[in-house]
């Protein structure tokens, strides 16, 4: 099973700042990594698939990079609506499909 | 556009079977290349994939739940169902259904969980 470790657990930033979230896989997942955003009481929303491809309708301030075992989600300038929990997920080796534990981006 | 809606009992007794249905509207459950997955989220915790069914009917389960879970489709009703037997308090969670795929064939294909239902809370308690 591929274990995904996200860091940091919590990121405290102000609107307008840059957010950098990390996801590390226990073995190579090539580029088969996705990122999701989840707000309280809502279902997750797909942001990035295959490491660096923005999903339909996702603003350009969201970008993904990485391959193999180390991945990054970057939010170039935080908008008020970006404060949420972010999860990574791999589809390289499954079952099982696995998610990281999440990073909460909170307002400083 | 495609929409998913979960439904089922919000309260299940310990040792009984949890049964949920995901109704798909705005598209066909038989669309080529798609899986229909179930993901759960215990209160205040992260996401856990529990299983998926391919449009052809093949099933894939989390190893930790394999002995207790069954996922099926009813193409006539455009629905996917999940049954989880012998539930305990640890199965208390919001259960989501979501569409996903593994391959990119067309420009609109997004190989990830691209469409989600709103989720349904299931509590296991006597």
- Check whether A6 has a pLDDT greater than 90: yes
Q: Which residue has the higher pLDDT, B102 or A95?
A: A95
Facing residue for A34 by CB, picked from B60, B96, B112: B112
Question: Quick one: closest CA in B to A35, which residue?
Answer: B112
Contact A89 B62 (CB under 8 A): no
Nearest Cα of chain A lies from the Cα of B119 at a distance, in angstroms, of 7
Alpha-carbon gap, residue B3 to A100, rounded angstroms: 26
B37 vs A contacts (CB less than 8 Å): 97
- Check whether B105 has a pLDDT greater than 90: no
Q: Reduced to 3 states, what is the DSSP secondary structure of residue B24?
A: strand
CB A30 within 8 A of CB A17: no
Express each pLDDT in A14-56 by its tens digit. 999 999 999 999 999 999 999 999 999 999 999 999 999 999 9
CA distances from B3 to A24, A90, B25 (A): 32, 24, 5
The verdict on B48 touching A (C-beta cutoff 8 Å) is: yes
Contact A49 B111 (CB under 8 A): yes
Alpha-carbon gap, residue B27 to B1, rounded angstroms: 7
Express each pLDDT in B76-96 by its tens digit. 999 999 999 999 999 999 999
Which one-letter DSSP state was computed for residue A80?
Answer: G
Question: Quick one: closest CA in A to B43, which residue?
Answer: A41
pLDDT for residue A4: 98
Residue count of chain B: 126
């Amino acid at each position: 099973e591929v274990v995904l470790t996200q860091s940091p657990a919590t990121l405290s930033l102000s609107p307008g700042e840059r957010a950098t979230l990390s996801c590390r896989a226990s073995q190579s997942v090539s580029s088969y990594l996705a990122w999701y955003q989840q707000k309280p009481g809502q279902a997750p929303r797909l942001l990035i698939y295959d490491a660096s491809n923005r999903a339909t309708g996702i603003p350009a301030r969201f970008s993904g990079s990485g391959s193999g075992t180390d991945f990054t989600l970057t939010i170039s300038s935080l908008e008020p609506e970006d404060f949420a929990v972010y999860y990574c997920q791999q589809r390289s080796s499954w079952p099982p499909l696995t998610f990281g534990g999440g990073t909460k981006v909170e307002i400083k | 556009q495609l929409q998913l809606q979960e439904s089922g009992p919000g309260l299940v007794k310990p040792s009984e079977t949890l049964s949920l249905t995901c109704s798909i509207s705005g598209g066909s459950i038989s669309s080529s290349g798609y899986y229909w997955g179930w993901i759960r989220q215990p209160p205040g915790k992260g996401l856990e994939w529990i299983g998926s069914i391919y449009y052809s009917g093949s099933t894939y389960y989390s190893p930790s739940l394999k002995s207790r879970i069954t996922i099926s489709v009813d193409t006539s009703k455009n629905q996917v169902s999940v049954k989880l037997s012998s539930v305990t308090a640890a199965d208390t969670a919001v259960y989501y259904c979501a569409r996903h795929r593994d391959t990119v064939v067309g420009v609109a294909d997004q190989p990830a969980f691209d469409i989600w239902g709103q989720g349904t809370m299931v509590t296991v308690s006597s």
